[in-house]
Every structure is written in C-alpha cells, then in structure tokens.
Structure 1
Amino acid sequence: MKKIALLIFSILLISITTTAQELTCADFKIGQFYIPETKEMAKYTIVSNDSISEYTPERDSIIKKYIVIREENTQIEWINEIGSGNPEYEKIEWIDDCTYRLTYDSSKYELDEGKKWINENNGIIVSKIKIEHNCLFYTATITTNEGKKISQDGIICKN
C-alpha cells in the first residue's frame, strides 16, 4: 500500500513540475501570441541629446489587442483577430536569444510613411525586460539616424 501511495505521489510531483516550467525567450520565437493594448504601450519616451521627454499619442479605442503569428524570422500582426483588416508583415533579425530587430516587409505590402521611416532608421530593437507567467515584457527602441532614441514598453503573451 505504501508503494502505491509513493508511486502516485511521484507521478503527481512529476506532472506538476513538468507543467509548471518557466518560459524562456525561445518560447516566444515561433507560435501565436497576442499583444494587449495597455497604458504602457500608449507612452513613448524620447531621449535626445541631454533631454528626456514623453509623448502619448491618441490611441484608436477600437484596438483591444494585436494578434501575432510568428515564425522564427517573420511575423504577421493582425488587429483584434486574425482576418480583420489588413495585416502587417514584419521581418525579424535575431541579435541574441532575447533581442531582435523588427522591420516592415515591403515585399509583402506597400508601407506607409511611418513604416518606411522605421525601416530607414534601422528598425525597432526589441529587448526582454522580464518573463512572467505566459508573458514577455519588453522595451522596443528605435534610434534615429540623428541619434534620438524613442522607446516604448510592451507585453507579448503566448496563447
């Protein structure tokens, strides 16, 4: 009887430890994710020379989240749900396991002036702040050709 109880306890312990594994940056390279629209995403920090300022543009209240379908070196973003509106196609260049450069893929669709400007300024560098539960907290930074740094904090979560 003690052997059966010990066996059941061992199986339970193994199943708990295997399902409670911590996510790593590698878990965010391929798959389907969502980026919730948050207050943090509404604020940009701008560092220029010796000054720091913040900018909060008006956000579209229709947007609740972004759906991201990511392969290792590409991703497609949809607003609110897959198939709604026009997707954005992006290229990913991995710098290390937790940092990548994001640019817009002009071969997939015509870029607006903002996306062209991002590409002309070497894209957006996305780097991990921390991982909690099923979400990766990040900072996205663009350094302009003039040396100005514009950054935004965000969250991407695994479905």
Structure 2
Amino acid sequence: IYKHVVHNMRKTKLLHITLSLIGLSSCAQDLTCADFKIGQFYIPETKEMAKYTIVENDSISEMIPERDSSIKKYIVIREKDTQIEWKNGIANGKPEYEILEWIDDCTYRLTYDSSKSELSEDKKWINENKGIVVSETKIEDNCLYYKATMTTNEGQTISQDGIICKE
C-alpha cells in the first residue's frame, strides 16, 4: 500500500507541476509596440547595425562604416516622447538626448535634442533632414526589430536594420 500511495503522490505532484507550467506559459503576455514606449532598454551591437543601405535615383548601395569596437551595447531610457542613450552603460560618457515624435503605435521620428547638449555636425545634419523614421518590423521574445530610415533633402534614402530589447 505504501508504494502505491507514494507512486500516486508522485503522479499528483508531477501533474500539479505540469499544470502550473502550462498556466504560467498561457499567462505570459506577448509584447506589443506599446511595451517599447516607456522604460529601460538595450540595443545590442549587431552585424545588421553595421550596415547602411543607400538608395539614390535608381542605384542601391551598401555602406559599412568603421564601428567603435569598444561599444558592446547602448542603454536606452525612454519616456513617452524622449529618450536618453548611453554607450555601454548608464553614466558612461556623454549621453545622447533624443526627441521622439510618434507617428503611430509602432513608428516614430527621432531627432536630436539641441536644448540638452551641443550637437555634432552629423546630428545637426540628421535634424536638418527631418530626422530618422523608426518602424517596427517584428517583435520576437523581448526584442523589437526595426528599420530606421532617413530621406535626405536631396532625395537619398538611407536605412539600417536594428533591434531594441527590454532589460
């Protein structure tokens, strides 16, 4: 009888654990674009981020600029309409202050905030060309994949694929 009771207890315990795990996984929420509007995130340095696609008139070219190998990831602290970017960690070096203008739930225009810091020539040029439009391409696990696109005043389109993940 003892063996039978112990065996049934094990079955009951295993069934309870299995049902608990099923319950947890069914309660796990899929992330949406709204989950990436406010909070702390990181942008890992990836191969995709190293490549820019440039479309001008009828030609398409790729540009792979030299990257700073000391940067492993960017930390992003995002409020609804602003974000601060740090290289390799909060309070590490000078932050980038950025303004987000939401176009829809999954798309925003990014420009640099000249009221918070002096802008480099590159950042001034981005602002003069109406900023960078960032659009979600997919959400997988805790990461949002995006395409960042800028159309210059001369009609050139520059785009880059990227990823931002919840901490």
- TM-score, normalised relative to structure 1: 0.92
The corresponding residue for 1:99 is: 107
Q: What is residue 161 of structure 2 aligned with on the other side?
A: 153
CA displacement at 1:12 relative to structure 2: 5.0
- Supply the distance in 1 between the matched residues of 2:55 and 2:35 (Cα, whole angstroms): 31
1:69 corresponds to which residue? 77
- The amino acid that maps onto 1:49 is N
Distance 1:138 1:10 in 2: 36
- What is the match of residue 86 of structure 2? 78
Match of 2:7 in 1: none
Instruction: Count matched residues.
Output: 155
Distance 1:134 1:15 in 2: 17
2: CA distance, partners of 1:105 / 1:29: 18
What corresponds to 1:14 in structure 2? 23
Which of 115, 138, 143 lines up with 2:146 in the alignment? 138
| Deviant stretches of 4+, over 2 Å | 8-16
Tell me the amino acid that sits aligned with residue 99 of structure 1: T
Distance 1:55 1:144 in 2: 16
Matched residue of 2:122: which SS? helix
1:10 is displaced (CA, Å) by 6.4
Q: Which residue of 1 aligns with 2:121?
A: 113
Give the match's secondary structure for 2:161: strand
The answer to whether the aligner puts 1:125 opposite 2:152 as a matched pair is no
Instruction: Identify unmatched segments of 5+ residues in structure 2.
Output: 1-11
Per-residue deviation, residues 74-106 of structure 1 (Å, max 9, x unmatched): 000000000100000000000001000000000
In structure 1, what is the Cα distance between the partners aligned to 2:38 and 2:64?
A: 31
Q: Which amino acid aligns with 2:27?
A: T
Query: Structure 1 CA distance, aligned partners of 2:26 and 2:112?
Result: 40
For 2:51, the equivalent position in structure 1 comes to 43
> What CA distance in whole angstroms lies between the structure 1 residues aligned with 2:128 and 2:43?
25
- Which letter maps to 2:46? T
Amino acid at match of 2:61: S
C-alpha RMSD of the superposition: 1.7
| 1:73 aligned partner, one-letter code | D
> Among 19, 36, 44, which residue is 1:28 paired with?
36
- Whichever of the two has the greater Rg, that structure is 2
What is the CA–CA distance in structure 2 between the aligned matches of 1:108 and 1:136, rounded to whole Å?
Answer: 27
Identity among equivalent positions (%) equals 73
* Unaligned residue ranges in structure 1 (runs of 5+): none
Q: TM-score, normalised to structure 2's length?
A: 0.88
